[in-house]
Amino acid sequence: MIEKRLCLACGSEGKLVYKDCTDFFCGTTGVYDYLECPNCKLLWVFHQPTDEELAELYEQYYDETLMAPEVGELGRSPKDLIRELILHAYKGYPLKRVSLPKFLAKSLGLGLGLIPPVFNRSIYGLGLTFPDCVSGGKLLEIGCGRGWFLKIMKNWGWKAIGVETNPASARFGREKFGVEILEGQLEEQNFPDNSFDFIVMRHVFEHVSDPVKILEECKRILKPGGALALAMPNGKSLGSRWFGKYWRGLTPPWHLHLFNPKSLKILLEESGYQNVKVRTLSFPAHWIYTSSKKVQAGTFKQSDSPTSCWWFHFLEKGLNAFFGNLGEELEAIAYKRNS
Ligand SMILES: [Zn+2]
């Protein structure tokens, strides 16, 4: 175990907030305390497992809750055509299946994209982690799991590569989706400097034992002007404030650091990224509430399908529209300097 007393974002000394947290997610033994930064409110596991201990722990890790949007080949269904129009208008992807005059296609895409649920569906619910088009672009996903994100990006013309520590997930992705997935840790891959236009970590950053080091490595392998996009639970969401140590997003000991908009922005800027944008979203609030209730009652099981609590969902959505930092999902995009 490594004792971590100082906030890795701003350097302040953490205060003990949650004691004796246990692994409700996979049921491994062990008791963990969480510290919180009095300044930027980052939450982290006080005594963190070493890399060797983590590797051993991860042999007992499983996640049945991994949800993937439908991933198939693109066709000419109305849904695919609407998606193409919107991605063309908002993200710069070329028109391949829609045969309309350019001006008309763009206007239609812009109009359709003004309807929030339609826009969200067209980017597969991926928010800031859905990249703008880069012609001939190279994309890296760290912790790609079974590779569905890579498959989507490959469909949209990206040369997409994934890195995954779980060999079974990596194999599944290669076989099922035909995508390139390298096994092991990011640093073991020895990618050359300036390799990628877009790097993404979806629900991975909170698992990383040394976020500073991984941000450094991402900066090295990003091309100048390239983007890093992150999605993770928001450690200062309404759910986190409501349920405290029983919040579903805490997930001890797997989530080693729980960032919030402030702490994540500080860390990305301190790490030399520029044009950092962070935001929070409430789309998971309805099941975070019911799952947290179960964690509190000691009845949480991964295999149970999550139920929904809509009053909490809309309460959070409303408050988040007003305050802007209470959503359960935290997203960030940041860029490497151009020179
Ligand atoms: Zn801090």
pLDDT digits (tens, 9 = 90+) for 33-83: 999 999 999 999 999 999 999 999 999 998 876 667 778 788 888 999 999
Task: Report CA(3)–ligand 1 centroid distance (Å).
Answer: 16
Answer yes or no: are the C-beta atoms of 293 and 44 closer than 8 Å: no
Which long-range contacts does 146-150 make (Cβ < 8 Å, 24+ apart)?
Answer: 146/66, 146/68, 146/172, 146/173, 146/176, 146/177, 147/172, 147/173, 147/174, 147/176, 147/177, 147/179, 147/181, 148/68, 148/69, 148/71, 148/173, 148/177, 149/200, 149/202, 150/177, 150/179, 150/180, 150/181
Task: Report CA(316)–ligand 1 centroid distance (Å).
Answer: 25
Task: Report CA(251)–ligand 1 centroid distance (Å).
Answer: 20
Task: Report CA(14)–ligand 1 centroid distance (Å).
Answer: 8
pLDDT of residue 159: 98
pLDDT of residue 66: 64
* Residues of the chain with confidence (pLDDT) below 50: none
Task: Report CA(50)–ligand 1 centroid distance (Å).
Answer: 22
pLDDT of residue 232: 98
pLDDT of residue 65: 66
* pTM assigned to the model: 0.95
Instruction: Describe the crossing of helices 78-91 and 102-112 by its angle, rounded to 10 degrees.
Output: 100
Task: Report CA(330)–ligand 1 centroid distance (Å).
Answer: 17
Task: Report CA(320)–ligand 1 centroid distance (Å).
Answer: 22
Task: Report CA(131)–ligand 1 centroid distance (Å).
Answer: 29
Task: Report CA(45)–ligand 1 centroid distance (Å).
Answer: 14
Task: Report CA(290)–ligand 1 centroid distance (Å).
Answer: 30
Task: Report CA(209)–ligand 1 centroid distance (Å).
Answer: 16
pLDDT of residue 74: 84
pLDDT of residue 324: 87
Task: Report CA(211)–ligand 1 centroid distance (Å).
Answer: 14
Which residues are placed with Cβ below 5 angstroms of ligand 1, an ion? 7, 9-10, 12, 37, 39-40, 42
Task: Report CA(53)–ligand 1 centroid distance (Å).
Answer: 26
